[in-house]
Amino acid sequence: MSSPVSVAFSPSIRLRWRQLLLVYLFAVGMIAGSAYTMYVHYDFSHSLDTRSYLGVARGKFKGNSITRRYRVLVPAAAAAVAWPLERIYARIWPQRATSDWALRLAFYVVNTLLLAAAGLVIFQTCLLYGATPAAALLGLVAVLTSRWAVYLAGLPLVDSLYMLVFALGFYAARSGSGLALVACILLGPHAKESFIFLAPWLLLFGQRAMRWPWQILWLAASGMLVYAVRHWVDQQAGTEAQASVKNAFSHFENVSYSLHRLFSLKGVGEIFSIFSFFSLVLLLGLRGGWAQARPWLQPLGWASVGLGLVVVIHMLLSSELARMGYLFSPVFAVAFSLLLTRHPTFRWLQGQPSTNL
């Protein structure tokens, strides 16, 4: 008689570009509807973040937040998309042509497409870890229906690009894709300065994609590009470079506050809210002890643990625990999809009768 935990482990599945395009459109569809409501109805009067990025998109660096004014890629893309939209608005809604509506719509479009791209990379990573396509899609649903996906896609923010950076890094470590790793290294510092905490993880776990001497060369090249952009922004803002250095170190003052918040009842609720009730499915996967949990937990390996530590550092340095915790999405999706693929409780998803309901 076969063991109740003897689940067949299928090798990673490679999909054709048409199938991947369908997955991407599926991701866009999941994000676009709910994020549109956020874009239309959000009250910007109390959001310093969104006002800062709208200013960066307009080229207004002077007096803007030191923390945010160097993150120019997403605002620049939004400004490019907004240019034709403003012409359309001038013809259809003249009263909106001189307002922020076109630029806010452009951020919504850019962020939705970027977050969907991160979702596609996460989906492919799930397959590489051995999940079935159906389970990988459900893992994608678990992370892209988060309230933070709605928030990050619908508002003038840059977190969607940073999500793509984390997804590319985790994918590169598993797949050995040098192209994904280089994209991660080049985009990361422009997405957020805290990429510096992801860089050591890449050097350690990204060696399948690129040996560390080459990684260091790419990191150096990326650093020089970042320095050039920051120097240009400082010139536009009329400030010295030392101001941004002091601002970066000031984030360490958030650690004490974040720890206190993390270990409070409100903090527990914040962490649970990241993936909401999908988190309970992972708890269900612990049924049956280690014998049934090992097939889906063990493949995650030290790379997943290490990325989790990088996310924790982001959470502690930021006062927004849940928003930074959402960066754990690539690992969460892989764990979720492996659970659905390999735990006996979910055999019915493969058309097999479950022996442990």
How does pLDDT run across 159-198, given as a tens digit for each residue?
Answer: 999 999 999 999 999 999 999 999 999 999 999 999 999 9
pTM of the predicted model as reported, rounded to 2 decimal places: 0.90
Q: Which of 3, 12, 13, 11 is nearest to 294 (CA)?
A: 3
10 occurs within a structural domain: no
Task: Render pLDDT for 219-256 as a digit per residue (tens, 0 to 9).
Answer: 999 999 999 999 899 888 877 766 656 655 565 667 88
Q: What integer pLDDT is reported at residue 1 of this predicted model?
A: 32
6 occurs within a structural domain: no
Q: Could you tell me the residue range of the domain that residue 93 belongs to?
A: 17-350
- If one counts the domains in the chain, the total is 1
110 occurs within a structural domain: yes
% residues pLDDT > 70 (the chain): 87
Q: What integer pLDDT is reported at residue 113 of this predicted model?
A: 98
Task: Render pLDDT for 255-275 as a digit per residue (tens, 0 to 9).
Answer: 887 788 888 888 888 899 999
34 occurs within a structural domain: yes
Q: What integer pLDDT is reported at residue 95 of this predicted model?
A: 63
123 occurs within a structural domain: yes
Q: What integer pLDDT is reported at residue 162 of this predicted model?
A: 97
In the predicted model, is pLDDT for residue 97 greater than 60? no
Tokens of 134: 């159906």
Q: Please state, rounded to an integer, the average pLDDT across all residues of the chain.
A: 87
Distance between CA atoms of 166 and 196, rounded to whole angstroms? 12
Distance between CA atoms of 291 and 70, rounded to whole angstroms? 49
In the predicted model, is pLDDT for residue 10 greater than 50? no
Cα separations in angstroms, 49 against 46, 146, 224? 9, 20, 26
355 occurs within a structural domain: no
Q: What integer pLDDT is reported at residue 2 of this predicted model?
A: 35
In the predicted model, is pLDDT for residue 36 greater than 70? yes
* pLDDT mean over 120-130: 96
223 occurs within a structural domain: yes
* CB-based contacts of 112, cutoff 8 Å, min separation 6: 28, 31, 32, 35, 153, 160
% residues pLDDT > 90 (the chain): 60
* pLDDT mean over 343-349: 81
In the predicted model, is pLDDT for residue 87 greater than 60? yes
* CB-based contacts of 16, cutoff 8 Å, min separation 6: none
Residue 31: which pLDDT band, with cuts at 50, 70 and 90? very high
* CB-based contacts of 27, cutoff 8 Å, min separation 6: 115, 116, 119, 120, 123, 140, 144
Residue 7: which pLDDT band, with cuts at 50, 70 and 90? very low
201 occurs within a structural domain: yes
* CB-based contacts of 128, cutoff 8 Å, min separation 6: 12, 171, 174, 175
In the predicted model, is pLDDT for residue 348 greater than 80? no
Task: Render pLDDT for 272-326 as a digit per residue (tens, 0 to 9).
Answer: 999 999 999 998 888 777 888 888 999 999 999 999 999 999 999 887 899 999 9
